[in-house]
């Protein structure tokens, strides 16, 4: 693989000579420098962790972060506990990247509603997270005669649990 990359790079750089090569090197340096600065300045590596303060980096999440601090799950769960999949590490980071992309895009263009809304697939992930932690308790509730043959939504009745309002 390394040989292939080296061969491709040599073939690519042979296409250029003289000032074109210098301009290409300068352009590559600018792209790498701006890219590195962007990664450093945005603190993107923080998004790989589990610190809820990272989710509140953009002002759009201030209300949710402050509500989580007052909520009942504050001492036992982080943002990832409820909003990231528990069943697959790869899917967890794909989901985080997907959410991060849309969050940053909407935040950059200031194109998000005043009260941010959860997307349907994130709602499903959150419902699954409820069951992940409270499965035994929920199993009793969903199999009771009151909710027999009914799809029970945790969030529908307990929407303020994670983010006390």
| CA 110 to mean position of chain CA atoms | 18
| DSSP type of residue 74 | T
Does this model's pTM top 0.85? My answer is no
Q: Count of CB atoms within 10 A of residue 93's CB?
A: 15
pLDDT one-digit tens code per residue, 70-103: 988 889 999 999 999 999 999 999 999 898 888 8
pLDDT one-digit tens code per residue, 34-56: 999 988 887 778 888 889 988 88
Examine the pLDDT at 11 and tell me if it is beyond 90.
no
Mean pLDDT of 127-139: 86
Q: Provide the pLDDT confidence category of residue 148 given band limits of 50, 70 and 90.
A: low
Q: What is the 3-state secondary structure (H, E, C) of 12-38?
A: HHHCCCCHHHHHHHHHHHHHHHHHHHH
Q: Which of 46, 56, 108 is nearest to 79 (CA)?
A: 56
Residues 6+ apart with CB under 8 A from 92: 80, 84, 85, 86
Residues 6+ apart with CB under 8 A from 46: 54, 57
């Amino acid at each position: 693989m390394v040989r292939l990359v080296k061969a491709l790079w040599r073939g690519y750089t042979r296409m250029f000579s003289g000032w074109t090569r210098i301009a290409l090197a300068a352009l590559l340096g600018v792209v790498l420098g701006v890219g590195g600065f962007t990664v450093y300045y945005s603190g993107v590596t923080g998004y790989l962790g589990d610190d809820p303060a990272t989710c509140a980096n953009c002002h759009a999440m201030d209300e949710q972060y402050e509500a989580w601090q007052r909520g009942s799950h504050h001492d036992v769960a982080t943002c990832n506990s409820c909003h990231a999949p528990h069943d697959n590490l790869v899917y967890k980071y794909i989901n985080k990247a997907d959410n991060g992309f849309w969050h940053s895009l909407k935040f950059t263009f200031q194109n998000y509603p005043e009260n941010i809304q959860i997307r349907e697939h994130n709602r499903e992930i959150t419902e699954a997270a409820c069951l992940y932690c409270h499965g035994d308790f929920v199993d009793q509730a969903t199999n009771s005669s009151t909710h027999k043959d009914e799809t029970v939504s945790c969030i529908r009745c307990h929407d303020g649990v994670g983010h006390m309002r």
